[in-house]
Copies of this chain bind each other. A is one copy, B any other.
Amino acid sequence: MHQFIQNSKSENQIFDVKKIRQDFPILNTKVHGKPLVYLDNAATSQKPKVVIDAIQKYYESQNSNVHRGVHFLSDSATNSYEEARDKIKNFINAKSSKEVIYVRGTTEAINLVAHTFVKPKLNEGDNVIVSLMEHHANIVPWQIVCDEKKAKIKIIPINEFGELKVEEVNNLIDEKTKFISLVHISNSLGTINPIKKVIELAHKNNIPILIDGAQSVCHSKIDVQDLGCDFFVFSGHKICAPTGIGILYGKEKLLEAMPPYQGGGDMILQVTFEKTIYNDLPYKFEAGTPNIAGAIGLGVAVEYLQNLGYENINTQESKLLNYATEKFSKLENVRIIGTSKNKASIVSFVMADIHAHDVGTILDQEGVAVRAGHHCTQPVMDYFKIAGTARASFSFYNTLEEVDILEDAVKKGIKIFLG
């Protein structure tokens, strides 16, 4: 009874995690007979019922191809698809819905910008600046275009806490720097980068800049106009939305001037074999039938996050981060990798010389899902001279009790390996 009153109290006050968890059907799963403790949120987030329901509703009452039809379903699907775009525009505070391009995810968005915006500008000897803590998605596309154009990649270094050495950016920039592409929050270290500072530096030197927001949109309110970045990219699946959908935000003027990326239906105004006229924004970059259900699901997901409120999300995630950090700091044989002052709720760690993969298996037996490996950030692993880490990444739906279960599982692992 006492418990009940407490619950209903906090429910009215701020944020009732127990209640929020009921929005996520998967959180009731049992793993090896134990309750699932899902701490792999940086890889992909779980989906609330409203998002799953929206997909179902789409297929059961709206499904149709968009843009090209005059019939009822087509109109309904097109409206929902475009309303979702408007929601996302408001969510990131873009100036216009034309600046919101649907893509498969962060990876495709970066490739699109690399190929249609940066590559045409690159000449032999030019350079593109990224940081040492980039995800492979923000390294490989630049390697591909730089290789082709005989340009170079320059790397903003990090310090032993996993913090960006911002003071080095100015030294790296030269008259041959054509682009900067920087991760907002590191997926393997949790570091929150001072992107506003870097954006200012870039623009002071007339260099356009892309921000990889794959890990940041789930943790913090994004205002692309306030940030001032030229491009901002993220994946739906990491922010409660379906797989296969993501967003490229770009300033309208830049997008206008860019050639299309893929050719096909919807991205053209008129086709003859002699001449093809491309469509307006955002359609110029959306060739072919898009992931309609995914886009609508993303619209519902951003609404869900807005309704929760980033303040509430941050409060809960800070609690989890601090609690876990404190516990892990006290554990013998455990070392946290990534101890930036400014940090998201991601805790990467190594255990004695137990390989991350083994840590993953041990935790899994206790129902605890963490990621083990290099997290697609091999240069970070190389910098710390480790093969990989185990990474617990917390979301607003995680609880302090789950951190306890994680800790117990880690202790068991140490016992097995070190006796």
Contact A263 B137 (CB under 8 A): yes
Which of A69, A105, A363 has the most chain B CB atoms inside 10 A of its CB? Answer: A69
Q: How many monomers of this chain does the complex have?
A: 2
Contact B360 A70 (CB under 8 A): yes
- A107 contacts the other chain (CB 8 A): yes
Contact B52 A273 (CB under 8 A): no
User: A368 — which chain B residues lie within 8 A by C-beta?
Assistant: 71
Across the two chains, which residue of chain B brings its CB closest to A44? B65
- A228 contacts the other chain (CB 8 A): no
Q: Which of A242-250, A310-318, A326-334 contacts B (4 or more CB under 8 A)?
A: A242-250
Contact A40 B59 (CB under 8 A): no
- A222 contacts the other chain (CB 8 A): no
Across the two chains, which residue of chain B brings its CB closest to A130? B273
Contact A32 B141 (CB under 8 A): no
Q: Which of A6-14, A176-184, A370-378 contacts B (4 or more CB under 8 A)?
A: A370-378
- A294 contacts the other chain (CB 8 A): yes
- A108 contacts the other chain (CB 8 A): yes
Contact B72 A32 (CB under 8 A): yes
Main secondary structure of the interface of A (DSSP, over half): mixed
Out of B52, B107, B262, B367, name the residue touching A108 (CB < 8 Å). B262
Contact A371 B69 (CB under 8 A): yes
| Proximity bits, A117-133, B CB within 8 Å = 1, else 0 | 00000000000000000
- A309 contacts the other chain (CB 8 A): no
User: A111 — which chain B residues lie within 8 A by C-beta?
Assistant: 262-264, 287
Chain A residues at the B interface, C-beta cutoff of 8 Å: 25-26, 29, 31-32, 36, 38, 40, 43-44, 46-47, 51-52, 55-56, 59-65, 68-74, 104-108, 110-111, 114, 135-137, 139-141, 143-144, 153, 155, 235, 237, 242-245, 260, 262-268, 270-273, 276, 287-294, 357, 360-361, 363-364, 367-373, 375-376, 378-379, 382
